Structure 1
Amino acid sequence: MYEDVVDRFVQEVPEFTPVWQEHVADNGEVLQHVLFWDVTMFVLDAHERGNRKIVDRCLDFLERALQSTDVHVRNLVGTSFVENVGPWDPAVRDFIGTWPPLLREQAARDGWQATEAPNNMR
């Protein structure tokens, strides 16, 4: 559910805890869409550092969130993660190509185009 999506993310990706704690300290509460900017930066940073384990756990969580029956959760991932990555930007094209299928589909709706054949994707 939308109300606990951040709590579930932090449980599955405990490395994100300091970012979440700072967000709550600054805002007095969890503002999901605002915090998902930080999720985006966290995932991109882990990708740039080559930390595939963290990236995979984050992307797996986000992929499952896109399967939620809660439209607000799906909207959160689509607008405040996928769009924040900037799927239209050629600089992230190859990274998006490693995403699970539903995330790639969302990115494609937002302007991403694969550079490799689908069998080379994750």
Structure 2
Amino acid sequence: MTFEDVVDRFVEEVPEFAPLWREHVADNGEVLQHVLFWDVTAFVLHAHERGDQELVERCLDFLERALHSTDVRVRELVGTSFVYNVGPWDPAVRGFVETWPPFLREQAARDGWQAAAARGNTR
């Protein structure tokens, strides 16, 4: 998985996201991966809030695999534009974060966000 194809692969595996991707391209004239992953974050959180566990699991499975990419830009994309945007230090999402696949949870812990939450620092 590369930085150049990560969005195409996400849309292929999660076709429900295609309308948001098309809107993003129409608004920006191109794919801006980090900006689009803000929409991915909102999309996943919305699916979680609706109780669409199958959709959430497909998204998280993809993001988990993306964190294993040899392309450091893909790993940074997931870490900064998904994990960070979810805000794992926020008690409101902590239960959701605890359901993530192992590497995503490790990403949040590795970046110190969970430790910051334990100390009461939120950013």
TM-score over 0.5 for the alignment? Answer: yes
Distance 1:4 1:45 in 2: 24
> Aligned pair 1:29/2:30, yes or no?
yes
Aligned to 2:70: 69
Aligned to 1:93: 94
Distance 2:90 2:114 in 1: 8
- The offset of 1:16, in angstroms, is 0.2
Structure 1 residues 61-96: Cα deviation after superposition (integer angstroms, max 9, x where no partner) = 000000000000000000000000001111100000
**TM-score, scaled relative to structure 1:** 0.90
Distance 1:16 1:112 in 2: 28
The gaps in structure 1 that reach 5 residues or longer are: 114-122
One-letter amino acid of the counterpart of residue 103, structure 1: L
Aligned to 1:43: 44
> Aligned pair 1:112/2:114, yes or no?
yes
The gaps in structure 2 that reach 5 residues or longer are: 116-123
One-letter amino acid of the counterpart of residue 96, structure 2: F
**TM-score, scaled relative to structure 2:** 0.90
Distance 1:112 1:12 in 2: 29
> Aligned pair 1:79/2:80, yes or no?
yes
**Higher relative contact order structure (alpha carbons within 8 Å, sequence separation ≥ 6):** 2
- The offset of 1:109, in angstroms, is 2.6
Q: How many residues align?
A: 113
Identity of aligned residues (%): 79
Distance 2:52 2:34 in 1: 24
